[in-house]
Amino acid sequence: MLTAPLPGYKKVKIMREQAQELNSKLVSKYIPQVKAEREADQHDFTTADKLRGAGGAINLRSLNQMAANLTEATASSTMEKRI
């Protein structure tokens, strides 16, 4: 015996509940990392590559990345080309 199909609003509700369960599982693996970052007194974003000079420590990776962004950036839209 066949049952009548569910009304549209019930289908949508069931799909939302299933999506919520899936998203909760996927996001739950990041909760410990986010909690640790929120509770940290100080964040350290330095890398091993440092240049010591008169001005102190300079992060080479971040400088190289900035330089690469500046030299490799090209306008992709007409608005960017006008600027």
Digit-coded pLDDT (tens) for 25-47: 999 988 988 888 888 887 766 55
Residues of the chain with pLDDT > 90: what percent?
Answer: 23
First-residue to last-residue Cα distance in the chain? 67
Alpha helices (runs of H) in the chain, residue ranges in sequence order: 8-28, 31-39, 60-72, 78-82
Does residue 38 sit in helix, strand or coil?
helix
Can you give the pLDDT at residue 15? 93
Can you give the pLDDT at residue 77? 77
The confidence band for 81, taking pLDDT boundaries of 50, 70 and 90, is: confident
